[in-house]
Each structure stands twice: as C-alpha cells, then as structure tokens.
Amino acid sequence: MIVLIVDGYNVIGSWPELKALRDQDLAQARDLLAEKLAEYQAYTGHRVIIVFDAYNVQGLEKKVENHRVEMIYTREHETADERIEKLVQEIKNVRTQVYVATSDYTEQRTIFAQGALRKSSRELIAEIETIEKNIEKDVKKQNTMKTQAKIPIKKEILDVFEKWRRGEK
C-alpha cells in the first residue's frame, strides 16, 4: 500500500492557482486541493491524507473525510510538521510505503530519516496535472469510441436497419 501525506498549506502556497484562491478564500482553496487530491487518489489508488496546521487555533484535533481523502486539522499548539511526523511513525511498516508532499526542507530530512520518501510540492503539482491530462485523454477516447455490436453485421444491413429506424423506405 502507498500512502501520500500532504502538508496542506505548504502545497497551497506552492501552487499558483491555489495560492491566488487562498488570498481570497482559504476554505475554498482547501476544498479545491481536496478535490484535486481526490482525483489523484481515484486515479492512483493511493491513500491520501492532507494535514492542515491549526497551531494558533484553539481546540482538539479534527479529522474530516472529503471525497475519500482524509483531512486532519492539528490540535492547538501542534504544527502540521509534528502531526506529519507522528503519522509517518504510525503508518510506516514493511507493507506500506509513505510519501510526504512538502517543500519544507527540514521536514523532508526528518521524514526521510524515519523511512518515508519525500515529494516536493512542485513534483506533486506536476504529477496531478499529468493525471488530469490523462483523465481528459481517457474521457475523450471513451467518448469517441464507437460502440461495437455484439453480433457482427455488414454495413449494408446496418444502413437498412437505420432507414427502418428512421421510418424511411
């Protein structure tokens, strides 16, 4: 199993489209990131966890599932980096490969020392954009494919059937 843990605000800050949206509406930027990662999750089959920093927000840790993507808001006085490190320790085992998407160099080194692999925000963005293009190609291909009849029929007979269907003689 492959698990991708995403440092939410770090990726939002690195993605021009989401960064611009963040400046207007942070909640909408988080939702759009979750949607894009849901497509990533559906396409790759990997488990995806997004961690958002709630360091200065009072309250307990909150877990939400949005589009089959797990979203974790850290508890008060806990940074996203600390929560990501705990997650890596909890999830990492012989059968599970963990990737952490962040451009925070210190965090990359820390999780790498714990046995997880790093993926920079830019690499994740490029991968998601490639997946979106592949999905678009697959949809176009699916739409242009002509449905095959279960019984092979010659074109002349199909033309006759089409005329009958239209009520022509």
Q: What pLDDT, on the 0 to 100 scale, is given for residue 123?
A: 92
| Alpha carbon distance 87, 97 (integer Å) | 12
What phi, psi does 26 have (nearest 5°)?
Answer: -60, -40
- pLDDT tens, residue by residue, 62-101: 666 666 889 998 888 888 888 888 888 888 888 989 999 9
- pLDDT tens, residue by residue, 102-111: 888 878 788 8
Q: What pLDDT, on the 0 to 100 scale, is given for residue 128?
A: 93
Nearest to 88 by CA among 73, 67, 109, 103: 109
Low-confidence spans in the chain with pLDDT less than 70: 55-67, 146-149, 169
Q: What pLDDT, on the 0 to 100 scale, is given for residue 148?
A: 63
Q: What pLDDT, on the 0 to 100 scale, is given for residue 133?
A: 93
Confidence (pTM): 0.74
Instruction: Quickly tell me which residue has 């939400």 as its tokens.
Output: 64
Q: What is the CATH number of domain 2-143?
A: 3.40.50
CA distances from 107 to 79, 118, 154 (A): 11, 9, 64
Burial (0-12, 13-18, 19+ Cβ within 10 Å), 38: middle
